[in-house]
Amino acid sequence: MLIDFHTHTTASDGALAPAQLLARASERGVGMFAVTDHDTIDGYLVLRAQHNDQIRLIPGVELSCCWSGTTVHIVGLGFDSEHAAMQEALAFMAQARSQRAEQIAERLARRGFPGALAGALEEAGASQLGRPHFAAWMVQQGHVKDAQQAFHRYLGQGKVGDVKAFWPELSQVVSWIVRAGGVAVVAHPYKYRFTGMKLRRLLVDFVAAGGAAIELLSGYQEPGQTAQIRRYAREFDLEVSIGSDFHRDAPYSTAPGISIPTLDGLRGVWERWAGAGAFA
């Protein structure tokens, strides 16, 4: 069976509408699936309302947080979407994104790009506002040739549009997920480019906050990295999750659906929901 516990739709920064993404997953034979849009569950709610009975849909979200001066992403799975803690989290994140967007726009204006906030909001439409929408506006205005150049010059890590100050702390994000009955998962642990020592420090703090799992597979990654994540999972007694981190079709994009790997004694987070009903 294929599983995918890390995907994105047009509710955040993905290219496919929720129904399109679910259809793609179904075509590939995915049996358990989670939409984990950035800081919103709107995509998940759309799919839940459709009452599809072919794929086991797990509630999911990818929450941004600040740890040691770096933006880290924590995936939440299996939570009660109506729980007060999750509602608090989503309201906080919506406000944080709004404040961050205003600051990004102010910084871009100082660099000679006025009107960025209105332009990004128009690009976002009903989606959760993020840096990709600023990038799309910059392309549309002719300020850059493509989104990659926008991130490389203005919006990527360490650039003028890389605003982190509004994200909550790691412990707060994990607390929201756990209080809502969910499982907190460290997303794509090698994407942060931490040293081994710093990644271990992150996991120490994550476990202390109540975190329970780490992504063993997330899109394309080196076999050596996967082997190291296995060691971390054993060292910190973490369950493992798997996902494509699918946003759109691209040369280096993994299609929705990941084969369950050999666990060698590790526990898959999906085992929590095996045998349950069709939809969460």
**Distance in angstroms (rounded) separating the CA atoms of residues 150 and 134:** 8
Token pair 């003028």: residue: 160
Determine whether 222 is exposed, middle or buried from the number of CB atoms within 10 Å of its CB (0-12, 13-18, 19+). Answer: exposed
Q: Note down the domain range covering 119.
A: 95-155
| Cβ atoms 66, 173 nearer than 8 A | no
**Distance in angstroms (rounded) separating the CA atoms of residues 34 and 219:** 15
- Position 162 in a domain: no
Considering the domain architecture, whether residues 201 and 226 belong to the same structural domain is answered as yes
| E-state strands within 146-182 | none
**Distance in angstroms (rounded) separating the CA atoms of residues 160 and 162:** 6
Q: Could you tell me the pLDDT band of residue 51, with boundaries at 50, 70 and 90?
A: low
| Cβ atoms 161, 134 nearer than 8 A | yes
Strand partners, 241: 215
| Cβ atoms 36, 247 nearer than 8 A | no
pLDDT at 52: 66
pLDDT at 277: 47
Considering the domain architecture, whether residues 60 and 186 belong to the same structural domain is answered as yes
What pTM value is reported for the model?
0.92
Paired sense of beta strands 30-33 and 56-57, if any: parallel
- Average pLDDT score over residue span 48-77: 91
Among 133, 155, 177, which residue terminates a domain? Answer: 155
- Position 278 in a domain: no
The CATH number of the domain holding residue 204 is 3.20.20.140
- Position 101 in a domain: yes
Rounded alpha-carbon distances, angstroms, from residue 122 to 90, 117, 126: 22, 9, 9
Considering the domain architecture, whether residues 106 and 144 belong to the same structural domain is answered as yes
- Which element (helix H / strand E) includes 259? strand 258-259
Which of 73, 88, 95, 76 shows the shortest CA–CA distance to 34?
Answer: 76
The helix-helix angle for 84-110 and 170-179 (nearest 10°) equals: 150
Helix, strand, coil percentages, rounded to 5, for the chain = 40, 15, 40
Q: What is the pLDDT of residues 174-186, one digit of tens each?
A: 999 999 999 999 9
Q: What is the pLDDT of residues 204-238, one digit of tens each?
A: 999 999 999 999 999 888 899 999 999 999 999 99
- Average pLDDT score over residue span 34-53: 91
CB neighbours of residue 82 within 10 Å: 8
Instruction: Report the chain's mean pLDDT, rounded to a whole number.
Output: 93
Q: What is the pLDDT of residues 142-186, one digit of tens each?
A: 999 999 999 999 999 889 999 877 899 999 999 999 999 999 999
Which of 250, 256, 277 shows the shortest CA–CA distance to 9?
Answer: 256
- Position 232 in a domain: yes
Angle at 110 between CA 107 and CA 114, to 5 degrees: 90
Number of domains in the chain: 2
Contacts with 264 (C-beta within 8 Å, 6 or more apart), sequence order: 230
Q: Could you tell me the pLDDT band of residue 127, with boundaries at 50, 70 and 90?
A: confident
The CATH number of the domain holding residue 111 is 1.10.150.650
Among 117, 133, 155, which residue terminates a domain? Answer: 155
Considering the domain architecture, whether residues 125 and 260 belong to the same structural domain is answered as no
pLDDT at 280: 41
Residue 93 has pLDDT above 50, yes or no: yes
DSSP 153: I
Rounded alpha-carbon distances, angstroms, from residue 135 to 73, 102, 108: 21, 15, 11
Considering the domain architecture, whether residues 225 and 188 belong to the same structural domain is answered as yes
Among 103, 123, 155, which residue terminates a domain? Answer: 155
Considering the domain architecture, whether residues 67 and 200 belong to the same structural domain is answered as yes
Residue 97 has pLDDT above 80, yes or no: yes
Determine whether 137 is exposed, middle or buried from the number of CB atoms within 10 Å of its CB (0-12, 13-18, 19+). Answer: buried
**Distance in angstroms (rounded) separating the CA atoms of residues 7 and 38:** 10
Q: What is the pLDDT of residues 107-119, one digit of tens each?
A: 999 999 999 999 9
**Distance in angstroms (rounded) separating the CA atoms of residues 261 and 182:** 23
Higher per-residue confidence, 250 vs 92: 92
